[in-house]
Amino acid sequence: MVLSSSVWRGISKYSFCVGLVAGGLLSAAVLLVVGSLVRIVAPVPVWLGLMAVWFVVMALRELGVVSFPMPQNARLVPESVFRHGPVLGPFEFGYEMGTGVRTYVTSSLPYLLVPMIALFSTPLTAVLAGVGFGLGRSLMTLMNLSYDSDGGWDFAWGRHQRKLQTALLLMFASSAIWIGMAALG
Amino acid sequence: MTLPIVLEQPKRIFHPAVGVALMAAVVLATLVAGLTLGPTPAVVASAWLSMAACAGYAVSGST
């Protein structure tokens, strides 16, 4: 785990978090542009129906009922990302991580967020989604670093992973319903 | 001579479940506002923010 590295001192973690948000914004912008071309193929109700089916599939995967691989960049981030110093190094690291395509994706929720942004976002809500994704990752980072310096947070996460991911899945669904209702007008 | 080993006590306030609880508070507020007001722009904006935050937090094991 890179978070257990001793380089996380002072401003570095905040620089990393700013990078996370910036990376999330980049991915959201790309998804908005690509999605604006895809979404004209079918009307909103059709996309919502497909999204509901996709949600069930990903929910079953998240809960461990079914198991199949999804595309991911299956590599760990090397500590050499810090070569640009205590501010720009973590920023670059966070930026790459924030895009969501730099390393492993350990949850199915990003695979639900991607089509949600692509199919239903506006420029403003795409920004909100990018910022939200970065803030979610930032919250994890800051809590991880504040918990202890011995990887205890990761251990605690692993011990309660199923319950925590189930809660996050339910919260994701609760929020997605309002977005779906707004999309229907 | 035996050197004492001092183990750092984890700060429980930063437990992973507390982060989930924080986001649950936002999601719950969005839910209540949505049920009261309907899918207004503010409710939808909050929904986007909290939904994406859930996805970001859920990939916690990958850093």
Instruction: Please report, for residues A1, A78, A98, A118, A164, the alpha-carbon distance to residue B60 in angstroms, rounded to integers and kept in the order given.
Output: 11, 17, 12, 23, 11
- Which of B11, B27, B51 lies closest to A147 in CB terms? B11
Q: Is residue A11 scored above 90 in pLDDT?
A: no
Q: Does residue B7 or residue A117 have the better pLDDT? A: A117
**Interface pTM (ipTM) of the complex?**
0.92
Scored b (16 or more CB within 10 A) or e, A90-113 reads: bbbbbbbbbbbbbbebbbbbbbbb
Mutate: best of B22, B23, B59, partner A, most A CBs <10 A:
B59
Question: Would you place residue A149 in the very low, low, confident or very high pLDDT band (cuts 50, 70, 90)?
Answer: confident
| Rounded average pLDDT over B8-22 | 90
For residue A3, being part of any structural domain is answered with: no
The count of C-alpha atoms lying within 13 angstroms of the C-alpha of A136, restricted to the half-sphere facing its C-beta, is: 37
| pLDDT value of position A8 | 67
Q: Is residue A73 scored above 60 in pLDDT?
A: yes
Domain that residue A150 falls in? 9-184
* Domain count along chain A: 1
For residue A157, being part of any structural domain is answered with: yes
Say if CB B47 and CB A179 are below 8 A apart.
Answer: yes
| pLDDT value of position B61 | 60
Question: Would you place residue A86 in the very low, low, confident or very high pLDDT band (cuts 50, 70, 90)?
Answer: confident
For residue A2, being part of any structural domain is answered with: no
Q: Determine contact: B29 vs chain A, CB below 8 A.
A: no
| pLDDT value of position A81 | 75
For residue A1, being part of any structural domain is answered with: no
| pLDDT value of position B21 | 97
For residue A4, being part of any structural domain is answered with: no
